[in-house]
Chain A
């Protein structure tokens, strides 16, 4: 059973702070890692993908991957109220073409 675990939250941070979202996964053969943002009543939107150990930055978002620890995180700098959403971690397993395993999501609230 391949599992992806996230803190369900809710995580609440003030505007301007750094929000840190964490995810662990069980399949050591996992190769590709994704963060999706889902606003209430909307579909998941891909915001970051990371494939190798280390950090990947895109604007205010930084994804961090540590395959040895089976850990992936998302940092949101200068958090804005518009970042309030549920963040889903998804992991591509080592087998089964194209299959992603999703965590249950972390609900983030950024208050002004």
Chain B
């Protein structure tokens, strides 16, 4: 009964490579998010999509490109990986109906760039 799932859970790669992280939610939510949590545990929003439409795009290098093929999926592609991209990336989803805005997080993807 996984609500928000991410793959892969761990990703170890070298500088300069391109990688993707996938996220899927089966909660029927309209909105999905990508967060980055650094080594100091600060959770910072990167992107948000509402029903496949980009609604939040924080100051993120354009090497990061989100894609939402449908409202249940939000993928994150990262080009030319750098050491500073090493972090845990969390996907989340939330309903917007009724102004709940409660966000539910996936298990995270720990990205290590060497």
Contacts and interface: CB of A to CB of B under 8 A. Distances in A.
A98 B40 CA distance: 24
A97 B45 CA distance: 13
A90 B50 CA distance: 20
Interface residues of A, number: 23
A99 B48 contact: yes
Interface in B26-67: 31, 33, 40-45, 48, 50, 55-56
Nearest to A34: B102
A49 B102 contact: yes
A43 interface: yes
Contacts of A44: 43, 90, 105
B56 to A, nearest CB: 6
A65 B10 CA distance: 38
Interface residues of B, number: 25
A106 to B, nearest CB: 11
A44 B44 CA distance: 13
Interface stretch (B14-22, B70-78, B79-87, B93-101): B93-101
A67 to B, nearest CB: 16
B41 A98 contact: no
B90 A43 contact: yes
Contacts of B13: none
Interface in A77-110: 86, 88, 90, 92, 96-100, 102, 104-105
B56 A96 contact: yes
A45 interface: yes
B99 A46 contact: no
Interface in A39-95: 42-46, 49, 86, 88, 90, 92
A32 interface: yes
Contacts of B104: 46
A96 B96 CA distance: 12
Contacts of B90: 43-44
B103 A100 contact: yes
Contacts of B55: 96-98
Given A42-B108, A96-B55, A105-B43, 5 more contacts: A97-B55, A98-B31, A98-B56, A98-B96, A98-B103
